[in-house]
Amino acid sequence: MRFTVKLLSPTKELKKNLRLDALGRRDMLEVEYRIEASMRIAEIGLASFALDRGTIVSGFWPIRSEVDLRPLLFGLRERGAQLCLPVIIDKQTILFRELVRGAPMIETGFGTAGPPVDAPVLEPTFMLVPLAAFDARGHRIGYGAGYYDRAIARLQEIGVNPRLIGVAFDCQEVEIVPDEPHDMPLEAILTESGLRSFGRTDKAS
């Protein structure tokens, strides 16, 4: 019997190592620090984001040691935003289902939770993007599956050019994220120390 070993390219290998190192640092944060930092992130975001009522905002439900985005999401909802969360449909695709007050949450794969199958699918124009690592240029490393890159590309194909805001803890910053053609730079990074803006970085423009 023959086994095929799939080798990573040097860029992907570097990204993998940067991802593991950054997530290791995040996992080392004390629970109390993550709670306080998540609250600080919510305060900064609410003070920084001026969104029109009805803006469709995608966020994420926290898993493992991620930023707890719920205080920020609920604050934006109180200001009139329409919320949605990513749901894994298959190995290639995520869609964004509406999150409404009091709706049940179901398991949606890879330890994530999201709205049920009967929730409306929305097309977000303001995306709070999870990440494993980021650099000072606004480039991100995701969790390795490429879901968000494909979701953003799909939105752009139908004429939706969402604003992309990465959300993470300061400890997830790395010196530089190696570029790949499919990478989508972020407009800004929101951490517990502030909002760093890079301007609109739309590849479609």
Annotated binding-site members for substrate: 66
Angle between helices 31-48 and 70-78 (to 10 degrees): 30
Instruction: Assess contact for 127 and 147: CB atoms under 8 A.
Output: no
What are the binding residues?
15-19, 66, 140-148
Q: Do the Cβ atoms of 45 and 57 come closer than 8 Å?
A: no
CA diameter of the chain: 61
| Dihedral pair phi/psi, residue 190, rounded to 5° | -110, 120
Cα-based angle 164, 192, 104 (whole degrees, multiple of 5)? 65
- Residue 12: both structure tokens together: 């992907």
Instruction: Please report, in range form, the residues annotated as the binding site for ATP.
Output: 15-19, 140-148
**Taking the CA of residue 61 as centre, how many other CA atoms within 13 Å lie in the half-sphere pointing to its CB?**
20
Q: Pairing state of beta strands 106-109 and 112-114?
A: antiparallel
CA–CA distance from 23 to each of 28, 90, 186, 194 (Å)?
Answer: 9, 25, 19, 20
